[in-house]
Chains A and B, each alone.
Chain A
Amino acid sequence: MFVEVALPPPIAVPVAERPALVRRVLRAAPPYLYLAPALTLLVIWTYRPLVQTVQLSFFSWNLLPTQPMVPAGLANYERLLELPELGQAMLRTLAVIGGLLPFTVGIPVAAALLTRRIRGRARVVYRALVFAPMLVAPVASAAVWRWLLDPSAGAVNRVLGTTNNWLHETGSANLGIIGITGWHLLGFAVLVVTAGLAGINSDYSDAAQLDGATRGQVTRWITLPLLSPTLVFLTLMTVLLSAQWTFPLIDALTQGGPAEATTNVYYLLWDYSFHSYDAGLGAAAGIMLFLVFGLIAAGLVWLSERLTFHDD
């Protein structure tokens, strides 16, 4: 016997909810969509290689598709820390940074303050002259400096009356690289400092002069403090990028020699990875540098927050 049971009434489907979710997602999407191209490229070109480098640093491999990657555990890092070259290269990198600071901070500030007093067309010409070396490609300038520093026929030796083989004696090779890089960067740094000076409101110095402050006092107590963000920026750039700026010159002029006198950390890293093709060791060195320079950068940024004086 069948009893006809009435169907339960259809459950009300919450139709209104779903479009709302879709709409909510759609409404939230545009900012992410705008970001997507940039994020994708960032992932592909920056984070993916970074992850691959970390991965590679745990293998022993010479990048040949026909050869297997052999898992190496921490062996690459251990070997790196045992190699005397790394410590020496680190010291040389510090020397390069120290040597470049006068070129990127000291001289530019002096030059920019002095050229401020020049007026009219002379100022434009003067600044163009200072900036010009920046426009010369590093490899081209390397070729020019090779001739200038040649031990027998070079202009530098003739002017100084010396017989130095500048780039090929351990004592002077790194100085030569610093000098050429500094010559290269000077114009850029002067430009940055000049821009920093132009951004300082002249009302302060006018007011100070009204109160009887000398020019030196204005520079010391008003201009330099207001210029401090620019100077910290230049210092940060020098510390983080010096070794990279010197690379093309080292590669073209000394190949890290003589007797490794110009081998800094970046050149060493390149040598491991793309000369000896010890990709694992190169990657391990890269990761360690990444961490060390990351810490230094964080420290400098923290310091700059305390030290710099902002004209709010």
Chain B
Amino acid sequence: MRKTPVALALAVVLATSACGLGSTASQEAATVTRVPELRPDQQVSIVFESYNFGQAGAWTDTFNELIGKFQQAHPNIHVTAQKPQGNSPNPATDTVPSIQAQMAAGSPPDVAQLGFSDLDFTIHGLGAKPLDDLVGKDAVQANFDGAKYPYAPTARTLGDWDGKTYGVPFVFSTPVLYYNASLFTQAGLDPANPPKTWDDVQQASQAIKARTGKDGAYLDCLTKSAKDWCFQALVRSNGGHVVSTDRKSLDFADAPAVEVVKMAQNMVNTGSTPKLTQQQGYEAFARGDIGMLLETSAIQAQFIKGAKDKWDLRATTMPTFGGKPAVATNSGASLFVFSQDPAKQRAAWELIRFLTSEDAYTTIASKIGYLPLRTGLLGDPNGLQPWAAKNPLITPNVQQLAHMEPWVSFPGNSYLQIRDGMMDAVEKAVYQGADPQTALTSARDAATSLMPAGR
């Protein structure tokens, strides 16, 4: 008798408290209106989240320097810089989960640097603000044109969706084949004549392995933590796609992708490629233990440091598959605005403009090694010309930028499960000896049910 009220009260608490989850009603996207300019005395604080703050050294130092300069130029805007939440060894992997966690908690950062692989979801899921509506198409285009040097044409539209600009492409690289010229010489190879095709890479690897005892080549494109930007470049270079151009079907179990995985698996099976994780791979290359590495230029600073006074670091363009042309894709990220408040939105745009200015690119390119998207800077004696003359490593990257293709994002809310499933299959086949066709087919079949319906 006496227990009944207690049980009842418990039931009521449980029943009412359970309704704190979310809404089943779909919300109308709030219309985005033009935001006014800031008054000179108007104080605004914004939060800037970037994975570049997630790695000590060149990345963090360069970005702290840039934020410092921005605050000097805009004393009324206070910027709090933060790295994504999470502890993945590659902080770029944590970006979207971090934004999502903060959004679920109700306070997303005002400006965030998010990868191109997340583009579809960033716009349709996270609701990044269309910059064309926020500050006007003219202002967005004027920023791309720049004060003196415009963006490279291939880079300009990477953050667009259906003709509207949502993100300003910020930092990226194309896959560059770095090689250890000292090991080449020791192995009796000609460092002035680096491999042109994947067959050449395989032969050079065998020579390095046999004559120096070091490892041949590592492709940082074939693990889940590497994401799929560089795998897409390999598949495109072999004439295939991972997702069809109408974004309706998944093509990563088709012949071109399977051949790419077979090629990479063969390199592992023949001992040309060591079985290493992404981080172990590039660290070993920096130590001088691997002959060649297909990698983003984002960690070039680490190689320069590792190679200094020890071995000769050089770079060349992506190898090709036989006679087919190599198609480079971009890694990296764009800058997006997430704030709801007009003043913060304007301040966010000011930060984006500053970070993508000629000055900022001069700093970013020379200190990190990312591509200066305003390629004209490389010919400017007051810009990057003297630096480029001393740093031939940038050349293959700039050459590839001219005819680069975008890193395509997978569609729908489950895009990460699709991408991770594909890369898991690739990793299983290449490093663990699974059959490439079987692994990719089963990943494709599992992912097909995750594709959004009717899009």
Residues of A within 8 A of B (CB): 28, 32, 39, 43-44, 47-48, 51-52, 55-56, 59, 61-71, 79, 83, 139, 150-152, 165, 168-170, 251-252, 255, 257-260, 274-278
Contact = CB atoms under 8 A, between A and B. Distances in A.
A43 B13 contact: yes
B13 A151 contact: no
Nearest to A42: B10
Interface residues of B, number: 49
B420 A276 contact: yes
Interface stretch (B182-190, B298-306, B410-418): B410-418
B22 A69 contact: yes
A90 B13 CA distance: 35
B8 interface: no
Contacts of B414: 276, 278
A69 to B, nearest CB: 5
Interface string B423-455: 010011001101000000000001001000000
Contacts of A67: 22, 26-27, 125, 413
Contacts of A258: 277, 427, 431-432
Interface in B11-52: 13-14, 17-18, 20-27
Nearest to B89: A255
Contact of A168 (B103, B125, B275, B446): B275
Contacts of A150: 280
B101 interface: yes
Task: Classify the secondary structure of B's interface with A.
Answer: loop
Nearest to B442: A84
B276 A151 contact: yes
Given A64-B100, A277-B100, A168 B276 contact: yes
A62 B276 contact: no
Contact of A47 (B14, B106, B280, B289): B14
A56 B20 CA distance: 11
Contact of B97 (A28, A165, A274): A274
B446 A55 contact: no
Contact of A165 (B125, B126, B276, B289): B276
A1 B2 CA distance: 56
A114 B153 CA distance: 75
A278 B27 CA distance: 19
B427 A259 contact: yes
Given A274-B101, A276-B414, A168 B280 contact: yes
B103 A255 contact: no
A259 B432 contact: yes
A45 B47 CA distance: 31
B224 interface: yes
B333 to A, nearest CB: 18
Nearest to A25: B2
A165 B279 CA distance: 13
A217 B170 CA distance: 75
B243 interface: no
A257 B427 contact: yes
A71 B434 CA distance: 37
A65 B100 CA distance: 10
Most B CB atoms within 10 A — which of A66, A69, A260?
A66
Interface of B: 2, 6, 10, 13-14, 17-18, 20-27, 87-89, 97, 100-101, 103-104, 106, 125-127, 223-225, 275-277, 280, 284, 289, 413-414, 416-417, 420, 424, 427-428, 431-432, 434, 446, 449
B145 to A, nearest CB: 33
Nearest to A47: B14
Contacts of A139: 87
14 contacts: A48-B14, A64-B104, A64-B126, A67-B125, A69-B23, A69-B24, A79-B449, A152-B284, A168-B276, A168-B280, A251-B87, A257-B225, A257-B427, A277-B100
B6 A32 contact: yes
- CB-based closest 4 A-B pairs: A68-B26, A259-B428, A48-B17, A63-B104
A251 B93 CA distance: 13
A182 to B, nearest CB: 23
A41 B2 CA distance: 22
Nearest to B225: A255
Contacts of A44: 17
B306 to A, nearest CB: 14
Contact of B275 (A55, A165, A277): A165
A277 B27 contact: no
A79 to B, nearest CB: 8
B27 A66 contact: yes
B100 A68 contact: no
Given A65-B103, A165-B276, A260-B424, 8 more contacts: A39-B10, A48-B18, A51-B17, A52-B20, A67-B125, A68-B23, A68-B27, A150-B280
A286 to B, nearest CB: 14
Contacts of A61: 21-22
A172 to B, nearest CB: 11
Given A169-B275, A259-B424, A276-B420, A56 B21 contact: yes
B416 A275 contact: yes
Contact of A276 (B10, B284, B417): B417
Given A69-B24, A152-B289, A165-B280, A52 B416 contact: no
A43 B10 contact: yes
Nearest to A54: B18
A66 B99 CA distance: 13
B24 A71 contact: yes
A63 B87 contact: no
Contacts of A260: 424, 428
Nearest to B121: A62
Contact of A55 (B18, B89, B223, B277): B18
A62 B2 contact: no
A39 B10 CA distance: 9
Contacts of A56: 21
B103 A66 contact: yes
Nearest to A67: B125
Contacts of B22: 61, 63, 65, 67-69
Nearest to B428: A259
Given A43-B10, A152-B284, A275 B126 contact: no
Contact of B21 (A55, A70, A276): A55
A83 B417 contact: no
A288 B26 CA distance: 29
Contacts of A39: 10
Contact of B24 (A32, A68, A83, A168): A68
